């Protein structure tokens, strides 16, 4: 696992398939968060993107964020296989709500 923390953002590159057994981030994020996920499969035959999301979100609970109830926005895509191999790229960012939503 590779990870980088900068300006409140956690970026992870996880082996595929995803498992919570190997991950350790120093302190889970609090507050509302946004997840950006990019699944890069080994070949064109792979897990459905929606199934990958559920596994990844559950696997990162208690490690990158305290609870999956903090996840308020998800952006996800499945990429074409490439020479770097199968992986799941994840960005976890503090969620910034537009002013109109904060007032509501």
Q: 3-class DSSP state for residue 58?
A: helix
Tell me, yes or no, whether 25 lies in a domain: yes
What is d(CA 49, CA 38) in angstroms, rounded to the nearest whole number?
A: 9
Tell me, yes or no, whether 62 lies in a domain: yes
Q: What is the predicted pLDDT for the residue at 26?
A: 64
Q: Between vectors from CA 21 to CA 59 and to CA 29, what angle results, nearest 5°?
A: 45
Q: What is the predicted pLDDT for the residue at 91?
A: 92
Q: What is the predicted pLDDT for the residue at 63?
A: 85
CATH at residue 81: 3.30.1330.70
Q: In which domain, by residue range, is 40 found?
A: 2-97
Q: What is the predicted pLDDT for the residue at 36?
A: 95
**pTM to 2 decimal places:** 0.75
Q: What are phi and psi of 77, to 5 degrees?
A: -150, 155
Tell me, yes or no, whether 104 lies in a domain: no
pLDDT per residue over 54-93, tens digit each?
Answer: 888 988 888 889 999 999 999 999 999 999 888 999 999 9
pLDDT per residue over 9-64, tens digit each?
Answer: 888 887 776 665 555 566 788 899 999 999 998 887 766 888 888 888 988 888 88
3-state helix, strand, coil in the chain (%, to 5): 20, 40, 40
């Amino acid at each position: 696992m590779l990870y980088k923390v900068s300006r409140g953002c956690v970026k992870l590159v996880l082996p595929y398939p995803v498992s919570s057994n190997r991950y350790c981030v120093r302190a889970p994020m609090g507050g509302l968060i946004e997840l950006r996920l990019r699944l890069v499969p080994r070949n064109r035959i792979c897990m459905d993107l929606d199934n990958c999301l559920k596994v990844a979100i559950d696997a990162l609970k208690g490690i990158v964020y305290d609870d999956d109830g903090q996840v308020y926005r998800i952006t996800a895509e499945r990429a074409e296989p490439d020479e770097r191999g199968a992986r799941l790229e994840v960005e976890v960012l503090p969620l910034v709500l537009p002013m109109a939503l904060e007032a509501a």
